Amino acid sequence: MTPDPGAAAGPAGSPPVHLVHHLEDVMGTIVVIDVYATAGSATPDTAARRASQEISGQLAEAVATLHRADEIFSTWKPDSPVSRLRRGDPSSAQAPVEVAEMLDLCAAARDLSGGWFDPWAVPGGFDPSGYVKGWAAQRALAAFRASDICGVLVNAAGDIASSGGLGDGTPFRIGIADPHAPHRLAEIVELTGAIATSGTYERGEHLIDPRSGRPAARAASASVTGPDLGLADALATALAVAGEPGLALIEGLDGYEALIINPDGSKRRTKRFPLVAAGTAQAR
């Protein structure tokens, strides 16, 4: 998923000031952090000063949060706490508190998804990767607290945690890639909160059906919006595996909505999935 190119300007008045555009190589991907302030409280002349003072401290906090998640939960680092847990190392009993938190969050996501998301039902033992990236991005988002910030996007390889918007009541607009032609957008959503998309069109057959233990995806792509990117990420993974039957599970969750693009190109969504109305996608 990508921000709409028109998202940095409202329909009237001055656009918000783009205080930060930061790319961080972490968790095996590039996380992009964008911070905007209202034009009335920060001008282009002051943006550089703000970015080098209060905002830079908050950016450093956000980046540290991402790297701590990588150090704890990377399954590629043999000495990470989660790698020790996966191989039954007794020293995992002294794991950081985040490990116990993640175990609880993953268990809750497994229940909410009807078992379609199950980090315990994958080769090699417990693998929370389908939750961690979104969870880390959501925690990084919380680092930005300056009073004149009007909007923040933390984009972790297309899964996006956001707060605020464009400062004039305009929400961020986010494009969902067409899984059959990823250089094109299939839909555009108005984002308040988080959005995650899962599918096999970029990484191949990496999604595991917990019921068979084999790679499987019944949807070409599945997108979930909601207040928390960690849970949205897990639910999108579940929905990509489950296909259309999984939509009923999302319908039952407060604050979460979903869109599926099927292998034949057809689309199904929950009632309140926040699509931009046809004909207005380029209006802003």
Q: Report pLDDT digits (tens) over 211-226.
A: 777 778 899 999 999 9
Q: pLDDT tens digit string along 232-250?
A: 999 999 999 999 999 999 9
Q: How does residue 92 score in pLDDT terms, banded at 50, 70 and 90? A: confident
CA separation, residue 82 to residues 69, 88, 89, 197, 220 (Å): 11, 10, 10, 24, 30
* In the predicted structure, residue 201 carries a pLDDT above the cut 80: no
- What are the residues facing 34 on neighbouring strands? 21, 153
Are the C-beta atoms of residues 22 and 152 closer than 8 Å to each other? no
Q: Which strands make up the sheet holding 172-178, listed edge to edge? A: 2-3, 172-178, 181-191
- For residue 208, the model assigns a pLDDT of 81
Enumerate the β-bridge partners of residue 149.
37
For all residues of the chain together, what is the average pLDDT?
A: 88
Q: How far apart are the first and last CA of the chain?
A: 18
What domains can be seen in the chain, in order of their start residue? 2-88+96-269 (3.10.520.10)
Region 135-150 average pLDDT: 94
Confidence of residue 23 (pLDDT cuts 50, 70, 90): very high
Report d(CA 211, CA 115) in Å as an integer. 8
Partner residues linked to 156 by β-bridges? 31, 159
Contact 141, 266 (CB under 8 A): no
Amino acid at 197: T
Pick the most confident of 11-25, 196-210, 214-228, 253-267. Answer: 253-267
Q: Residue 50: its pLDDT value, please?
A: 62
CA 50 and chain centroid, separation: 27
